[in-house]
Chains A and B, each alone.
Chain A
Amino acid sequence: MGFIKGAFNQIADPRLFFLLAVGALLLAVWKREAVASNAVGYGMLALLGVFFVFGTFDANFRLIVTKPDNVPIVGLIFLLLFFVWYSIREGVLNDRRIAAGNGPIEKAESDRVWVWPDLVYTELISLILCSVVLIVWSILLKAPLEQPANPANTPNPSKAPWYFLGLQEMLVYFDPWLAGVVLPGLIIVGLICIPYVDKNPKGNGYYTFTERKAEITIFLFGFAVLWASLIVLGTFLRGPNWNFFGPFEYWDIHKLAALTNVNLSEYVWVRGLRTSYPSLYLVRELPGIILVLFYVMALPVILAKSLFKGYFEKLGAPRYYVTAFLFLMMLSLPLKMLARWIFNLKYIVAIPEIFFNI
C-alpha cells in the first residue's frame, strides 16, 4: 500500500506529471489505431475509476477530492478522458471508411429526417436526464460555505476558481503580466483566429484524424495538456505556498521547497563572464532581450524558410506569421517549464525596475 502510494506521489511531481501527459497524448495520436478499440477506452476509464476508489481509502486523498468545489473536476477528468478518446476513435473509424473509398459515416447519413420527432425527442430526453443528474447532485452534495469573509486572514493556499487554476499554475513560470493578462488574452485571440488561419478544406463536418493530423494534435496539446491537465495539477496537487504535494501526501504548511532559481543575466555576467552586472539595466538584460526578440521575430522567419516551408507556401505570409506567432506563444509555456527544470532558470529578461520580467 505505502509503496503504491509513494509511487503515485512520485509520478504526480509536476515535471513527471507534465511529461507523462505530453507522452500520453503523443502515444494516443501515434498508436491511434490501437487506442480506437473499446477495450482501450473503457479500460482506461475503469483504471481511472479504480484509482479513485483506491484513493478514497486514504485520508489525505479523500480530503482534497471531496472538497465540494473539487468534485466537478473529478467529473471533468473522466468526461475529458472519455471524449478525447471518443473523438479520436470516431476519427479512426471514419479514416478507415475513407481509405476503403466509402467516405465518412456522416456522408452516408446525409439524408434529412424530421426534426419532430427525431430531434425534439432526443432533446427532451437529454433535458430530463440532465435535470435528474443536476437535482440528484444538488441533493447529495451541499454547496460549500466557509467562514465569513475576512480580509485580514489569508488562507494558505489561496486558490482562484478551479477553471482558472491552469493560469494560476502558469504563475510558477511567468509573472502575472504574462500569465494573468497577456497569455490568457492570446488564448482568446488564438481561438478566434483558428478558422481564419486553418486553410485545410478537408475534414469539414465529420470526424477524421489523418486529414487534419497537425491541427488536431496541436489543439489536443493546448486543450487537454496545457489547459486541462494543468487545472488538475493546480487543483489536486498544489498545496500551501503553492508547493507540490502528491495525491496521498499530507498538506504540510511547513514543507520547504528549495528556491534556487537563477536569472539568465546572472548566468551570463556573473557565472559566465565572471564580472559584476553592468549598471544599465538594458545592457544587463541584453542577452535575454536578444533571445526573446529572436524567438518572437526571427524564429518565425527562419522556420518559414526551413521546417515550416510547406506551411508558409500553403498559408501565405499573413496567415503563416499569425499562426507561427500564436504557436510559439503556446510553446513558450512548456519551453519555460523545461528551462526551469533543467537550468533552474528564473527569468530570461528580469527588469524588476519597470515590472518587466519574462
Chain B
Amino acid sequence: MADTKTVAPKEGPATQFWNWLTETQVWTSVFRHDRPDTDRNRVLVMLSNVFLHLHPVRIRKSGVKLRYTWCMGGLSFFLFLSLTLTGLLLMFYYRPTLEYAYTDIVGLREHVPLGIMREMHRWGAHAMVITVWLHMFRVFMTGSYKPPREFNWSIGVIMLVLTLLLSFTGYLLPWDQLAIWAITVGSNMARATPFLGYEGPGAQLLRLGDVPLIHAADDARFALLGGTFVGEGALLRFYVLHCVGLPLGIAVLMAVHFWRVRKDGGISGPM
C-alpha cells in the first residue's frame, strides 16, 4: 500500500504577505469578515460596509444585466460623485465676483500644468444630463415606474429637474460671452411667468390703485437673478445654488431614491 501523504501547497511570497496582512490588527479592525468567496462572507461583506450596504445581498439575475438597466442610474450617480470631487477642486481656484470670475478661469487654463479639472467637470456635467435622460428612458421602457415604484419615479423627475438646474447654474460661472448670454436667454423666460413676471399675462391685473405690484425690479426674473439683468447679483446667486443649494438637495433625494429602490423590492422584474 502506497503512503498517502498530504503536502501543503508551497506558498509564494505574495500569498504569505497576504496572509500576514489580513491577520494584522489594523486589517481585522477594518474588515470584519474573510474574503467574500463563501456565501456567509458574501452576506457579511454587504452588511458590514456602509457603502456596499446600499445594495441588497442578493438580487434578481436579470437586474444585474447591462441589457436590463444599461447601468444608466449607476453611471448618473458615479458622474455626480465625480462632479462633486472635481467641483470641490475648482472651488479652490474660483472666486464668484465680476472682478475675478473670468480671470480665475483663464488662470486655471493657462497656469495649471496638465489641468483637466475644468474639462472633467464640464464634460462630466454634459454626460450626466445624457445619462439621466437615458436612465429615465430605460425605466419607462421596462415599465419600472408602475406600482409599487410610482413614488420613486416622481423623485426621479425632481432629480432630473435638479440635474438640469445644476448644469444651468454652472453654465454662468466662467463669466464669458457664452455664459452670460446663454443665461440671459434662459432667464428671460421668467419675465413672462403668468402673474409673477412683469411681461407675463395677468401681471397688470396685480396692482394697488395705480401702483403695479409686479415690475422689472421685483418679478420672478428678479428673484432668479438678484437684479434686472445678468450681473453681479446673478453670479453670486448662481454660485451659491450651484455649489451648495442644489447639490445638497439632489444628494438628499438620491438617498431617498436608492433607499426606495430597495424598499420597493429591488430592481424591478416580472411578478
Contact = CB atoms under 8 A, between A and B. Distances in A.
Given A150-B177, A163-B164, A158 B182 contact: yes
A149 B180 contact: yes
A208 B143 CA distance: 9
Nearest to B125: A72
A106 interface: yes
A219 interface: yes
Given A72-B130, A76-B130, A91-B141, A135 B116 contact: yes
Interface stretch (A194-202, A264-272, A310-318): A194-202
A14 interface: no
A40 interface: no
B61 interface: yes
B146 A151 contact: no
B260 to A, nearest CB: 13
Contacts of B61: 109-113
Contacts of A355: 192, 199-201, 203
Given A75-B130, A115-B46, A164-B168, A105 B58 contact: no
B146 A198 contact: yes
B123 A196 contact: no
Contacts of A118: 59, 64
Contacts of A101: none
Interface residues of B, number: 99
Contacts of B230: 149, 151
Contacts, number: 267
A126 interface: yes
Interface string A101-133: 001111101111111111110110011001100
Contacts of B184: 158
Contact of A201 (B118, B146, B153, B185): B146
Contacts of B45: 116
Interface in A155-207: 155, 158-164, 167-168, 175-177, 179-182, 188, 191-192, 194-196, 198, 200-207
Contacts of B177: 146-150, 153, 155
Counting from the closest, the 7 A-B pairs by CB-CB distance are: A180-B189, A138-B119, A195-B150, A176-B192, A109-B62, A205-B268, A177-B192
B75 A131 contact: no
Contacts of B204: 354
Given A120-B52, A123-B74, A135-B116, A188 B157 contact: yes
Given A110-B62, A205-B144, 16 more contacts: A84-B137, A104-B270, A109-B61, A112-B60, A137-B123, A138-B119, A159-B181, A161-B182, A176-B191, A179-B189, A180-B192, A181-B189, A194-B145, A195-B146, A195-B149, A206-B62
Given A130-B79, A151-B230, A160-B185, A142 B145 contact: no
B154 interface: yes
Given A119-B59, A181-B200, A168 B174 contact: no
A100 interface: no
Contacts of B201: 177, 354-356
Contacts of B199: 176, 355
Contact of B161 (A116, A130, A188, A194): A188
Nearest to A149: B180
A223 interface: yes
B119 to A, nearest CB: 3
A90 B178 CA distance: 41
Interface of A: 69, 72, 75-76, 79-80, 83-84, 87, 90-91, 103-107, 109-120, 122-123, 126-127, 130-131, 134-135, 137-139, 141-151, 153-155, 158-164, 167-168, 175-177, 179-182, 188, 191-192, 194-196, 198, 200-208, 212, 216, 219, 223, 354-356
Contact of A149 (B133, B142, B175): B175
Contacts of A164: 164, 168, 186
Contacts of A103: 270
B247 interface: no
Contacts of B174: 145
Interface stretch (B4-12, B14-22, B65-73, B250-258): B65-73
Interface of B: 36, 39, 42, 45-46, 52, 55-62, 64-68, 70-71, 74-75, 78-79, 82, 102, 105-106, 109, 116, 118-120, 122-124, 126-127, 129-130, 133-134, 136-138, 140-147, 149-150, 153-154, 157, 160-161, 164, 167-168, 171, 174-182, 184-186, 188-194, 197, 199-205, 229-231, 268-271
Contacts of A160: 182, 185-186
B176 A145 contact: yes
A139 B141 contact: no
Given A138-B116, A176-B188, A354-B202, A151 B130 contact: no
Contacts of B138: 83, 87
Contacts of B130: 72, 75-76, 79
Contacts of A354: 201-202, 204-205
Contact of B123 (A72, A154, A179): A72
A74 to B, nearest CB: 11
A65 B25 CA distance: 58
A146 B128 CA distance: 23
A147 B70 CA distance: 40
Contact of B64 (A122, A144, A167): A122
